[in-house]
Amino acid sequence: QRAPQDENIIVTQFEMHSVESLGLLKMDLLGLKNLTIIEKTIKLVNELYGKQIDISNLPEKDKKTFSILQRGDTTGVFQLESSGMRHYLKELRPTELEDIIAMVALYRPGPMELIPEYIARKHGKSPVAYLHEKLEPVLKNTYGIMIYQEQLMTAARTLASFSLSEADVLRKAVGKKIRTLLLQQKEKLINGCINNNISKETAEKFWNLVEPFDRYGFNRSHAACYATIAYRTAYLKAHYPMEFMSSLLNADANDIDRISFLVSECKKIGIEVLPPDINKSSAAFTPENNNIRFGLTAVKNVGENIIQAIIENRQRSGPFENLISFLSRVQHKDLNKKSLESLIRCGALDSLNIERNQALQNIEEIVKFNSVIKKQQQSSQIGLFSNAFSKNSLKLKDVSPATSSEKLAWEKELLGLYVSDHPLNSYRQKIEAANAKPIKELSKSGYQVIAGIISKVQKIVTKTGKPMLFTKLEDFTDNVEVIVFPDTFNKNQAIWKENSAVLVSGRLSTRDGESKLICENVQEL
């Protein structure tokens, strides 16, 4: 019979590991969009150049691939995109797949504290040491640092003569944090080491590494799979950046903030993302003369059905010559006031020789005209190319053209980024006079002065009840998070609003590899 407390332990363990306790196999199945990005990139390369990429047989030590990893140019690279990971990659300067496998395993809470030592040992700044000489073959690939669950199992077999099943029980006890099972392994491990002529002191030191391993140990086979996908995405980005970035943009076409970020990343590697154009854009982002053309699907408020109708008509009958031609030829129920306004405001109809503000101020007349055309075509009273649809049949009242700031605001709202210009351009002299640094060139420490557009404002209340801000500032080169503490925020609350052009000074914090500017002063440009 079991005591009541024993029953509680059994029930608790069953609840924690119920699937395994029933003798069933539990599997995690991941749906990674990165696999789609790889597939789409390969397809684009084949369509454009007739070249087949054997993604399963890439060169193992491709210099171009490791070059972008060493630079931290890892936007879109699976598992290696975060700013903290970029920071460590620059320090690590990886030269082989083993380095990527290690970083995938180490860049998590707990083992992250081992990253500086791993980097130091790789570059000979710290000696590679082993608890016992028998562990050298086990830990050689990771410079003497035990990172993986497989290493723990092999070490237990090497030092304590554990069988494979006993080593797996040890792994399970550590990984699943089953305390009673873990304590059983301690005596067995230490006795096994002593029986192998390893001192009790060394055996206990080894146990001291084993016990907290639940915070550190990662499945190497898992890390290797992730690292393989990371390497493949890095390879495609290094050798086919235009095709890779097109696929990346298409994977996030419905996320305006992500699109904005990816477009700025394209600029960093010399790829221009051209504005949406009713006569040139496809539904998706597509390569065009070594650049990328904005896809119509990424325009807010424009549905897939109307986009498909526009593209099919253009492929069938050629480019749209003017607004009349566009309205006459594209007769679709989704070409309504909302979609027309979005196409006009983002600049997608600029190639039809219409001025954006004039079209917007006459939108009711345009919609009315479109409705008349639709009814006449449905009644078959007037043919598509009859004189009734001459340029004179749609009269637009004259209005003042849209200002540059209005165009930029519309583009930012509908596309997530500025296309026709950048709002900072009109402040270049003030920025130079203030000796503001480009965000991309921020130093790691010291007092910094930068200029930019506030693209995001998040207000929170501290534990003491005072408001503070987490904001994002972007310039021509990059963006950075700016933290505004309560005292600074109270001095100039009105300045902190989205789309404001500001000059910010403060100190840069690079905690955990993440660069953030602590604001001390701010002024409007």
Dist. CA 117–CA 140, nearest whole Å = 14
Dist. CA 106–CA 89, nearest whole Å = 12
Q: So what's the pLDDT on residue 150?
A: 93
Helix orientation angle between 200-210 and 149-160, rounded to the nearest 10 degrees:
160
DSSP string, 190-205: HHHHHHTT--HHHHHH
Q: So what's the pLDDT on residue 417?
A: 84
| CB-count exposure of residue 138 (10 Å: 0-12, 13-18, 19+) | buried
Strand partners, 501: 453
Q: What is the pLDDT of residues 122-169, one digit of tens each?
A: 999 999 999 999 999 999 999 999 999 999 999 999 999 999 999 999
Task: Write 41-49 long-range contacts (CB < 8 A, 24+).
Answer: 41/236, 41/240, 41/243, 41/244, 41/246, 41/247, 42/236, 44/240, 44/243, 44/246, 44/247, 44/287, 45/240, 45/243, 48/243, 48/287
Q: So what's the pLDDT on residue 76?
A: 94
Q: Are 278 and 352 in contact (CB under 8 A)?
A: yes
pTM of this prediction exceeds 0.85: no
Q: So what's the pLDDT on residue 108?
A: 87
Q: So what's the pLDDT on residue 447?
A: 86
Q: So what's the pLDDT on residue 16?
A: 56
Q: So what's the pLDDT on residue 15?
A: 53
Q: Are 153 and 171 in contact (CB under 8 A)?
A: yes
Q: So what's the pLDDT on residue 513?
A: 60
Dist. CA 216–CA 108, nearest whole Å = 8
Q: So what's the pLDDT on residue 512?
A: 59
pLDDT tens, per residue, the chain with 525 residues: 444 444 444 444 445 567 777 888 888 887 889 999 999 999 999 999 999 999 999 999 999 999 999 999 999 999 999 888 999 999 999 999 999 999 999 998 888 889 999 999 999 999 999 999 999 999 999 999 999 999 999 999 999 999 999 999 988 888 777 777 888 888 899 999 999 999 999 999 999 888 888 777 888 999 999 999 999 999 999 999 999 999 999 999 888 878 888 988 898 889 999 999 999 999 999 999 989 999 999 899 999 999 999 999 999 999 999 999 999 899 888 889 999 999 999 999 999 999 999 999 999 999 998 888 877 776 655 444 444 444 457 888 999 999 988 999 899 889 888 888 888 988 999 999 999 988 888 876 678 899 999 988 999 999 999 999 999 998 888 889 999 999 999 998 999 998 899 999 999 887 756 788 999 999 998
